Amino acid sequence: MSEHLSAQTIESYADGELAAGRVRETEEHLRECAMCAGKLVAQLQLKRSIREAAWTLPPKNILRPRRQWPAYAALAAAAVLAIVVLIPRPNNELADLHTTILASANPVDVISTDRHTVKPWFEGKLPFSFPIPEFNGTPFHLAGGRVVYVHEQPVAYLMVMKGAHRISLFVGRDVPAPRIDAFESIAWTKNGLRYVAIGDVARADLDGLRVCFRD
């Protein structure tokens, strides 16, 4: 086996900044060496935890003038305000919920891998119902569920695992499509219900999850 990777190499690789010529040898070593692979995982985990812990949503009314502005800025301020009125702010509400729930000590209220437990639990808690598919034979499994509120409307929340990755699936009548940089997400509509899946997984995994819900 080749020599162990330096801390700097692991860090650059995790940041996607390793020189192109060194990527191949690095990946070869990572495949063979559990220790370096472990360090890489820890590095990626730190990155992700920082990203999740360090994100704060802006308040809704942020661009109204707060203080007396210098005269030269008055026109520009008016222009900025006009821009803000015309352009909807990106919606990060679901990404925030996803992060908050994952960070919570009790992320789900009904803890079960069995859809026959989770589905009845939602009854009476939601003004709609939706099928939960059988995940046996798929790469996914159910971890549990809870009810969350989005725009003051109850929305079903399912936590679905893909290996060790947690995917948040929101199901409701009016779930806003997220605009997210930090996670992958997809949204689809079925039987008048909106489904939004968010997770730190590959796009193809989310597409796979959607397929599970189609039948």
The residue ranges that bind other proteins (CB under 8 A) are 7-8, 10-12, 15-17, 35, 38-40, 42-43, 45-47, 49-59, 62-63, 65-67, 73, 76-77, 79-80, 83-84, 86-87, 89-90, 92, 102-105, 181-182
Among residues 120, 214, 107, which one has the least CA distance to residue 160?
Answer: 107
Phi, psi of 25 (to 5 degrees): -60, -35
Q: How far is the CB of 70 from other proteins (least distance, A)?
A: 9
Q: Which residue's CB is nearer to other proteins, number 132 or number 143?
A: 143
- Distance of alpha carbon 150 from alpha carbon 156, whole angstroms: 10
Smallest gap from Cβ 52 to other proteins, in A, equals 7
Shortest Å distance, C-beta 45 to other proteins: 5
Q: Please say which residue, 47 or 141, places its beta carbon nearer to other proteins.
A: 47
* Rounded CA separation 60/89 (Å): 9
Nearest to 166 by CA among 177, 157, 175: 157
Q: Which is nearer to other proteins, 1 or 85 (CB)?
A: 85
Tell me whether residue 92 or residue 185 sits nearer to other proteins (CB atom).
92
Residue closer to other proteins (CB basis): 15 or 114: 15
Q: Where are the beta strands (DSSP E) in 15-150?
A: 110-111, 140-150
As a whole number of angstroms, the distance between CA 192 and CA 174 comes to: 9
Which residues, including other chains, have CB under 8 Å from residue 87's CB and lie 6 or more apart? none
Least CB distance from residue 87 to other proteins, whole Å?
5
